[in-house]
Amino acid sequence: MVKYYQLRNQLLNRVSLPQKYRHLLSKESVWGWLFLVPTLVSLGLVSVYPVFRAAYLSMNEYNGITPPTWVGPAHYVKILSGWPEFWQVLLNTVSWAFGSIIIMLLVGMGFAVLLNREFRGRNVVQGLLLLPWAMPYIAVALNFQWMYNYNLGVFNGLLRLVGLGAIPWIGSSKFALFSAMLGWVWRNFPFFMISFLAAMKAIPDSLYEAALVDGSSRWELFRHITLPYLQPVIIVTTLLMSLWTFNNFTMIFVLTSGGPGMSSMVLPVYVYNNAFLSNSVGLASAIGMVMMVIMLGYGLVYLQLYRQDIGQV
């Protein structure tokens, strides 16, 4: 104990550390940092090292077997110089992500408004609506793959019952991406629903009562009271779901594998195909780095616009 304080005092005398940071050298702080070391090392190995490794491989021609061959920024030049295949995949990914999020947000908002009212069996309905959120992605994808089956699927069975023809849900370039989108929406809309519902419960009833006394309609209550209170939750949930959707691999891979052709190919599946089917690990790493930059840029711009919007209120 005495030796520790002697060593600390000697260090403080030699280093001109500001007073507000000197508590970091207290015995409690030192022990705290020591306990954090295993977690920080694990986080570095799992999260930080792969990023630097991918950045290195993106500058090389590498097939996963032979030693990497340095090619510099050649992969990035190929990607960003009008490579039609990449830009088609990027457009598919953006359509898949934003289309899904808009539908999920609207569906989640609708059910949240419904569940915010008192009615018989509300808890049962809420529990049933939360079930999709508890299901693994692979299970959801396999179930929708069965329901989309051209001959035996539930959806085409219902269409035949009403006298309509069957649709090749995942076998047609017109419907494949939208079909995968429906499965993704069904799996994830409860995230929006429960987040919005929790925020609605925190809105004071007195605001609604005062507005009703003033003669406000239900739509005016929602527009001028509910939506402003939900704005921070909408911002956070939309940002999180954007990241999850943009990076999701399972739903598209299981349902369509990016086909037919390239009609439903999204960036995560495209990276997988380049790395493990075409053995172009260097190119796949470059695409992955571009994905990371796109998502970082999107997140920063999104949050900046949110701050500006809040500043104007």
Backbone angles phi, psi at 111, to 5 degrees: -70, -35
List domains and CATH numbers for the chain. Answer: 2-57 (no CATH), 76-312 (1.10.3720.10)
Read off the DSSP letter of residue 135: S
Judge whether residue 121 has pLDDT over 80. Answer: yes
Q: Residue 16 — pLDDT band, cuts 50, 70, 90? A: low
Quick: pLDDT tens for 193-208.
999 999 999 999 898 8
Mean pLDDT calculated for residue range 225-233: 91
Burial 101-130 (b: 16+ CB within 10 A, else e): bebbbebbbebbbebeeeeeeeeeebeebe
Judge whether residue 246 has pLDDT over 90. Answer: yes
- Cα–Cα–Cα angle for 66, 55, 49, nearest 5°? 95
Judge whether residue 166 has pLDDT over 60. Answer: yes
Mean pLDDT calculated for residue range 210-220: 87
What's this model's pTM, rounded to 2 decimal places? 0.84
pLDDT value of position 304:
82
More confident residue, 8 or 57: 57
Judge whether residue 109 has pLDDT over 70. Answer: yes
On the question of a cis peptide bond just before residue 67, with omega within 30 degrees of 0, the verdict is no
- Residue 275: which residues within 8 A CB-CB, separation 6 or more? 64, 281, 284, 285
3-state secondary structure 200-264: HHCCCHHHHHHHHHCCCCHHHHHHHHHHHHHHHHHHHHHHHHHHHHHCCCHHHHHHCCCCCCCCC
What is the percent of the chain where pLDDT is above 70?
88
pLDDT value of position 313:
47
